[in-house]
Amino acid sequence: MMDWRWRKGLMSDFFRLLSVVLVLNLIGACSSVPVMPTPAAFLLTKTIVLSATEVKSPTPVTLTTWNVTEIATATKPEQCQPVAAIPKQLHKEWALGFINPNLTHSFFKQRDAGMTAAAAFYGVKYIGLDAKDGSSYNLLPSLLTQKPDLIGSHNDVSAIAAKAKAGTIPFVSVDLMPVKFDLHPYGVPDATAGKLGGELLTKGIKERLEEKWKGKEVFFLGFTANSIPACVTRVDAASKAVREGLGLDEKHLLIIDPNVNSRSPEAELLIALQANPQAVFGMIPCWDQLGIDPYKSAVEAGYTNRILLVTLGGDQSNLAFLRTMPEGYYGLVEFQPFCEGWSWVETALAILEGIPYQPYEVRSTVTQSTVEGRYVELYGSK
């Protein structure tokens, strides 16, 4: 018969063995349960505790861009306002092509200078061609042989835009933008420009109504071209601003359009002056010369004291004319062609880089009281 003490020891060994097996099975079962990842904060803390000298802060990935102050400094004396935050490191050295209408015209020459300067500043290639008042579309093959990444033009917009769309090349025109091609809009904000001009003209008329025009009947006269959508928008906005500013009714708002009237703008202005001999006229054209030529004809006819002109555009030639203090030429809204060109390049780069951009804006107005300082600032004293 087995001794009871031996049996007791055997049973104890058996239970010990059974306990070990149960523990091992439990561990095996637990190992099949998915392990939750340790939070990053905990890992970082743990690393710092175990080996602080081995911890390295990650290098932040930041996109360094040119700021407003840097652009204003680079574009002195114009001090252009950027329309996009352009990265200091671009994806590539982009090539931008633009067909200018005529670089002998001071406005287009200044705009091209802005494009050239901006391209140099941002480190990209600018290909500027001159149509010399000929066909811009005929220059397109020459432009495309230079493999631009984006193209633009002022004239022949529809034809060039269609060709660009077929070739999947981004197209950014200036001022003239048919919507049917779903193109990138860029250029002078026509409604804003017209409104600024109308407000400036209203100010000038009110000053005269306090003195030599006191008690006079006032007409607003806008020179437009209904074939150019920008002109319609600009002159309509100017007309609205003057109407609201002076409380004019519809019969005192006149429009001269060379596409509608059989006579020239100069002849139409003289007819309006002669038909209303006791009235005075505040005038705004779609662009500078469209108003300056009729203005000069009225001066030659002896109507200087009955007209007040504000123009839209303000390139060097018109600032120079305003600088001579001609009676009846109150001031202008300056489109800043250099900045328009500079900002065209920014808009083009923003499109190519895939970053946001804002519309180009006009803010500056110049009168006879400020033209001398502005002219010297931009072009020197000569």
Per-residue pLDDT, averaged over 336-351, amounts to: 97
**Residue 228 is part of a domain; what is its CATH number?**
3.40.50.2300
Q: Which of 44-58, 67-81, 167-181 has the lowest mean pLDDT?
A: 44-58
- Domain boundary residue among 188, 215, 241? 188
Q: Do 32 and 142 sit in the same domain of this protein?
A: no
Domain with 166, as residue range(s), is 81-188
Strand arrangement, sheet containing 150-153:
125-130, 95-100, 150-153
Question: Would 61 be classed as within a structural domain?
Answer: no
For residue 54, is pLDDT > 50?
A: no
Residue 32 pLDDT > 50, yes or no?
no
**With 50 as the cut, is the pLDDT of residue 7 above it?**
no
Report yes or no: 157 and 104 within 8 Å, Cβ to Cβ.
no
Burial category of 13 from C-beta neighbours within 10 Å (exposed 0-12, middle 13-18, buried 19 and up)? exposed
Instruction: Report if pTM > 0.85.
Output: no
Together in a domain, 106 and 224: no
197 and 244 share one domain: yes
> Are both 330 and 265 inside the same structural domain?
yes
**Number of separate domains in the chain:** 3
pLDDT of residue 135: 96
For residue 79, CA distances in Å to 157, 345, 379 come to: 29, 16, 14
**Which of 11-25, 66-80, 192-206, 288-302 shows the lowest per-residue confidence on average (mean pLDDT)?**
11-25
Where a domain ends, among 188, 220, 252? 188
Q: Judge whether residue 270 has pLDDT over 50.
A: yes
Q: What percent of the chain has pLDDT over 90?
A: 73
Residue 181 covered by a domain: yes
Same domain, 183 and 200: no
Confirm if 285 and 312 have CB atoms less than 8 A apart: yes
**Among 122-126, 242-246, 260-264, 355-359, where is mean pLDDT lowest?**
260-264
Mean pLDDT of 50-65: 51
Is 199 found in the same domain as 268?
A: yes
Q: What is the pLDDT of residues 65-90, one digit of tens each?
A: 999 999 999 999 999 999 999 999 99
Q: What is the mean pLDDT of the chain?
A: 85
pLDDT reading at 207 higher than 50: yes
Collapsing DSSP states into helix, strand and coil, what is residue 257? coil
